Amino acid sequence: MERAVSPGSTATIDSMSNVGTFLDKSLLPNALHILGEAGSLAAGKNSSGATTAYLVGGPVRDLLLGVQSRDFDIAVDADGPTFAAELAGKIRGEVTFRSEFGTAKIAAAGLVIDITMIRSETYAEPGALPLVQPGTLEDDLARRDFTINAMAVDLTPGRWGELTDQHGGQRDIVLKTIKSLHPGSFSDDPTRMLRAIRYESRFGFKMDPKTLTSMTESAGSLAKVSPFRRLAELRLIFGEETTVDILEHAEERDLLAGIHPALRISRQALNKFDSAPDSLSNEERQTYYMALIGSALTQGEAESLSRDLELSSDWSGALLSGPKFKGVAGILDRSDLKPSEVVELLAPFPVVALEAQLQLAPPLLRRDRLSAYLTDYQHSKPELNGDDLLALGVPQGPLVGKLIAELKVGRLDKTILSRFEEEAHVKRRLPMLT
Ligand code: CTP
């Protein structure tokens, strides 16, 4: 069949039946080597009894879109962990995860390879985890979320690159459309609604009209999903480059409240998502998002969100900082506040939460104080350390900490300006304290 799409272009609507040359040309050499080894292992004698191996789901979609994957999903007609153990040995990888449901993960050459057993899935009730059974490739593709994620590429040497696309995945890539495989897809797994919005935003695609209708009808069912899975979806949204766009779409479609009823994101907070300081790591940036969200919540809402979704201490601390900061914001505007008092007020907050508050602050004194705290005050410390104090005759024990704290206050408020003045302070205070 004709070549349909080339990496980075989606010009024609013809479909391909073999993407072998695509694989050869587009994949990085390490990825190509690993996929080749997986196909050869399945086609030859192997301990799991596998006879075929397919590249499935997201990496096939990314291949056709011209996007480099670092995550490769391979499906085999055998037990995933057994196959993974043997493959890991051949590609000098390490099995980092294995489950009783026939799945395993390998880390190799900077890539992640997920091995699953080709399976069928049925849902006992909406939102529940699926019941998994061995199945055919057709079953395995039919259980998936969207047409663009329901394609498979054969990796075995004789059939290298043969594409199975029974749901119109190539067509929908060309049409830039997110389309569910069947009308019950969102009620089977309501997290797919959030996945749809992520893909829509990540790839600049549009929702197929029937899929959108089904989303409108199913929005309320997200609440049936376990808190763990709802939180996992929020993390995935935070991990995308287009987080703001995704959150806006999720809000428009009533899906944020499905993650948690208290999850409201103010326009003001959303406007600041992209202002996260460049110095933040990926993890810290996500914590910063939580702090922005917390700024619009009441204490009760932040507590229930944190408790119900079992947030990590970092996320919970950031979220709860929002309502807590409301209690100190007014004090920070007082003109008679000394730097040491600013430190006393702000030191209990996580730094990343203060970064968020700085972005949100109106042009009042509080903004200057937040900025001074973050750039200067929080790093201020006396020149003398504990050993220096002992050398000056301070007895070991709590007095050392007390005097260090006094020196810190003196340095912040500029009543102590040098090492000499620090020593003088210690010598003056010591007789009063002992
Ligand atoms: N899948 C699904 N329903 C879900 C989650 C996953 O049908 N709720 C299927 C899709 O076919 C998907 C595959 O499982 O392609 C793997 O899921 P995942 O790794 O989450 O997604 P990827 O497609 O790899 O996409 P991403 O780039 O977002 O990781």
Ligand 1 centre and the CA of 58: distance in Å?
6
Above pLDDT 70, what percent of the chain?
A: 97
Q: Which atom of ligand 1 is nearest to the CA of 58?
A: 23
From 145, 199, 230, mutation site for ligand 1 pocket: most ligand atoms within 8 A of C-beta: 145
Q: What angle do CA 14, 18, 23 make, to 5 degrees?
A: 110
What CATH number does the domain containing 100 carry? 3.30.460.10
Same-domain status, 29 and 152:
yes
Q: Whole-angstrom Cα distance, residue 178 to residue 176? A: 7
* Ligand 1 within 6 A of CB of 140: no
Report the nearest-CA residue for atom 3 of ligand 1.
145
On whether residue 2 sits in a domain, the answer given is: no
On whether residue 378 sits in a domain, the answer given is: no
On whether residue 267 sits in a domain, the answer given is: no
* Ligand 1 within 6 A of CB of 192: yes
8 Å CB contact between 365 and 334: yes
* Ligand 1 within 6 A of CB of 144: yes
Same-domain status, 40 and 160:
yes
User: What secondary structure, in 3-state letters, does 140-196 show?
Assistant: HHHCCCEHHHCCEEECCHHHCCEEECCCCHHHHHHCCEECECCCCHHHHCCHHHHHH
Same-domain status, 37 and 152:
yes
Q: Domain boundary residue among 205, 224, 259?
A: 259
On whether residue 126 sits in a domain, the answer given is: yes
Report the nearest-CA residue for atom 20 of ligand 1.
58
Ligand 1 centre and the CA of 56: distance in Å?
9
On whether residue 396 sits in a domain, the answer given is: yes
Same-domain status, 113 and 254:
no
Same-domain status, 166 and 226:
no
* Ligand 1 within 6 A of CB of 190: no
* Ligand 1 within 6 A of CB of 105: no
What is the number of domains present in the chain?
4
Report the nearest-CA residue for atom 9 of ligand 1.
144
* Ligand 1 within 6 A of CB of 149: yes
Same-domain status, 197 and 103:
no
Same-domain status, 81 and 31:
yes
On whether residue 271 sits in a domain, the answer given is: no
Same-domain status, 52 and 190:
no
Q: E strand or H helix at 117, and its extent?
A: strand 111-117
Same-domain status, 409 and 362:
no
Same-domain status, 336 and 397:
no
* Ligand 1 within 6 A of CB of 189: yes
**Beta strand 71-76 with 53-56: parallel, antiparallel or unpaired?**
antiparallel
Sheet containing strand 103-108, strands side by side:
94-98, 103-108, 111-117, 71-76, 53-56, 152-154, 163-164
Task: Identify which of 162, 255, 153, 163 has the alpha carbon closest to the alpha carbon of residue 201.
Answer: 255
What is the maximal distance between C-alpha atoms in the chain? 93
Q: For the chain, list residues with pLDDT below 70.
A: 1-15
On whether residue 25 sits in a domain, the answer given is: yes
Same-domain status, 158 and 100:
yes
pLDDT recorded at residue 216: 94
Ligand 1 centre and the CA of 203: distance in Å?
15
Ligand 1 centre and the CA of 234: distance in Å?
15
Q: Against a cut of 0.75, is the pTM above it?
A: yes
* Ligand 1 within 6 A of CB of 81: no
pLDDT recorded at residue 2: 34
Q: Which atom of ligand 1 is nearest to the CA of 114?
A: 19
On whether residue 266 sits in a domain, the answer given is: no
From 73, 103, 205, 233, mutation site for ligand 1 pocket: most ligand atoms within 8 A of C-beta: 73
Count of CA atoms in the C-beta half-sphere (13 A) of 340 = 13
What CATH number does the domain containing 202 carry? 1.10.110.30
* Ligand 1 within 6 A of CB of 57: yes
Residue indicated by tokens 């428009």 = 252
* Ligand 1 within 6 A of CB of 119: no
Same-domain status, 22 and 168:
yes
Ligand 1 centre and the CA of 190: distance in Å?
13
Question: In terms of residue numbers, what domain contains 240?
Answer: 176-259
